[in-house]
Structure 1
């Protein structure tokens, strides 16, 4: 297989109906759910240490973590389909494996953090524990590293990004010059 054919393969969806059509994959859309939920959960965790009655923030953070885990599972499903489009043995494939592994570890950490919070019985309205806050902060930092790798896959290696010949459509002038 030539480099050109490998690149074309990595740009095409394995299943357009499931992973998104050519040039518009679903994975980058879906990752906004866990990223947003987990960033907000950390903000709630920190705020729970500051306010007088933190119970609502602690409960909100736990639910944001759960929403993030569910969103991450949805993003992972279509992310796997994108992974299958990348030819094995390539730097892009190795980067994708690290990206996937980090995301799975982060999702597992947040799932464990959610279970940990359920066992602590926040019915009393106390702030989140220091260990739980630390777990969330570290998991979010690892997610940032994984996000960098995801950006590398799209912007450097062009995985599931339309070919430059297709991209030029957006730069053709529709004006007529006299």
Structure 2
């Protein structure tokens, strides 16, 4: 029996999750993470700028982009989550990873409404953004552990080994 057959977490639940060895979740998370990190950069620039209005608007737009981008990331993540066998270390880590991500999405939704169109960057929202990114970083570390250490939705070791075989000469 191959590694892929033994470990269902390596196989996609449906083609919507991405083909074998190429999960879409890992691609989709770049949008919310990038947008939310960029929103923090806009906050910092806005706080030290003489005119914070364009940066406050930009930060709010980036938060919205992150929220919209989190929708496919959540869908793809749930597809991968459903393949992890219950009552395993991987399922526990994945449950915590998912819970933190839902918490972070809620935090950014709150921040979106907290930031009004007054052209200012509220200090509370700035601090809240830093805390949200710290939680997101921990969740990302868990996600990395799931994929890179435990091989969730990563090709089986026998498949990966093909890349390191020296071809025989005819």
State the SS of the aligned residue for 1:69. Answer: helix
Which residues of structure 1 form unaligned runs of 5+?
Answer: none
Please state how far the C-alpha of 1:172 moved relative to its aligned partner.
2.4
**Equivalent residue pairs, number:** 168
Indicate if the aligned counterparts of 2:104 and 2:132 stay in contact, CA closer than 8 A: yes
How much is the aligned-residue C-alpha RMSD, in angstroms? 1.7
2:57 aligns to what?
59
TM-score normalised over the length of structure 1: 0.89
State the SS of the aligned residue for 2:7. Answer: helix
1:90 aligns to what?
88
- What does residue range 106-125 of structure 1 map to in structure 2 within 5 Å? 106-117=104-115, 120-122=116-118, 125=119
Please state how far the C-alpha of 1:83 moved relative to its aligned partner.
0.3
Q: Distance in 1 between matches of 2:6 and 2:134?
A: 30
Indicate if the aligned counterparts of 2:42 and 2:59 stay in contact, CA closer than 8 A: yes
Q: Distance in 2 between matches of 1:77 and 1:48?
A: 33
2:149 aligns to what?
156
Please state how far the C-alpha of 1:170 moved relative to its aligned partner.
1.6
- What does residue range 23-172 of structure 1 map to in structure 2 within 5 Å? 23-117=21-115, 120-122=116-118, 125-126=119-120, 128-172=121-165
Q: Distance in 2 between matches of 1:53 and 1:60?
A: 13
| Runs of 4+ with >3 A deviation | 4-7, 174-177
